[in-house]
Amino acid sequence: MHGSSTSTDSTLTTVSGVPASRLSNTFDSWQASANPGMEAAFARCVAVAKGESTKALLSGRPGTGKTHLAIAAMVEFGILRSLLWKVPDFLDWIKNQAYDKELEMARILRPYREDPFLLVLDDLGVEQRTEWAYQQLYRVLDSRADNKLPTIITSNQLPDKIDERIVSRYRSGLVVCAGKDVRSRFDV
Ligand SMILES: Nc1ncnc2c1ncn2[C@@H]1O[C@H](COP(=O)(O)OP(=O)(O)OP(=O)(O)O)[C@@H](O)[C@H]1O
Ligand SMILES: [Mg+2]
């Protein structure tokens, strides 16, 4: 798995898939008053972080703080027991795996389907759903739902644009964020 501990290259340091610069995205550094429309998303991520729930599916406009809340949940849950993937990177990674695809993938994805770390899949979007890599992603999410493993998904698509099979399985965690784009306010 990628990033399950600290890794460094010449330009980037990430911990569990989170850029070091974003490890300060915690529940403590969250400013609720900046975006009251994100209250339900905040509560949902706290519930997953505390183990009171296993599912969050945050659908909301860009810049509303979805990734911040997902990272905050990871920090609270335990950053080394968590893993964040941006969905396009996850799909690229799957595509680049060994050519004996089915066999190799079963081995590589087993932890994603069975292990109780907190998985964040950030930026689920308008992927090509017939693609082989996308089917692997879907199977991961299906198994995690069956196995009640903690999972947070973010998307800036409305629920009716997200794969309905995923929405169906994660509906109990669905939050349609009413928040506004506050990114520029926190850009330094
Ligand atoms: N309520 C808040 N309190 C503190 N910081 C916030 C809040 N909302 C957003 N931010 C900050 O604003 C920036 C944008 O937030 P974030 O990246 O989480 O948005 P997003 O909803 O994931 O956007 P996108 O859909 O474009 O990925 C981040 O730096 C985040 O830490
Ligand atoms: Mg984001």
Pairing of strands 6-8, 82-86: unpaired
pLDDT at 104: 80
Q: Which range has the worst mean pLDDT, 1-10, 71-80, 166-175, 179-188?
A: 1-10
Domain count, the chain: 1
Mutate to test the pocket of ligand 1, among 31, 33, 58, 68 (most ligand atoms within 8 A of CB): 68
Any domain includes 148: yes
Lay out the sheet containing 151-155: strands in order across: 82-86, 118-122, 151-155, 55-59, 174-176
When pLDDT is cut at 50, 70 and 90, the band that residue 3 belongs to is very low
Count of CB atoms situated within 10 Å of the CB of 28: 9
CA atoms of 17 and 19, how far apart (whole Å)? 7
At 63 the pLDDT is 96
Q: Does residue 121 belong to any structural domain of this protein?
A: yes
**What is the pLDDT at residue 7?**
47
6-8 vs 13-15, strand pairing mode: antiparallel
One-letter amino acid of 67: T
Please report whether residue 3 resides in a domain: no
Q: Is residue 71 part of a domain?
A: yes
* Best residue for ligand 1 mutational test, from 23, 30, 67, 158 (most atoms within 8 Å of Cβ): 67
Domain that holds residue 50: 36-178
Inside any domain, residue 52: yes
Indicate whether 92 pLDDT > 50.
yes
pLDDT: which is higher, 94 or 123: 123
pLDDT score recorded for residue 89 = 92
Ligand 2 centre and the CA of 62: distance in Å? Answer: 7
47 lies in some domain: yes
| 15 in a structural domain | no
Residue 16 placed within a domain: no
CATH code: domain of residue 116 = 3.40.50.300
183 within ligand 1 shell (Cβ under 6 A): yes
Rounded to the nearest angstrom, the distance between the alpha carbon of 110 and the centre of ligand 1 is 31
Q: Return mean pLDDT, the chain.
A: 91
What separation in Å is there between the alpha carbon of 65 and the centre of ligand 1?
A: 3
User: Quick one: average pLDDT of 158-169?
Assistant: 96
3-class secondary structure per residue, 36-54 = HHHHHHHHHHHHHHCCCCC
In angstroms, rounded to a whole number, what is the distance separating the alpha carbons of residues 11 and 110? Answer: 30
Q: Is the CB of 34 under 6 A from ligand 1?
A: yes
pTM, 2 dp: 0.90
pLDDT of 153: 98
Instruction: Convert the pLDDT of each residue in 144-160 to its tens digit.
Output: 999 999 999 999 999 99
Overall average pLDDT of the 74-92 stretch: 96
State whether the beta carbon of 68 lies less than 6 angstroms from ligand 1. Answer: yes
Share of the chain above pLDDT 70, in %: 92
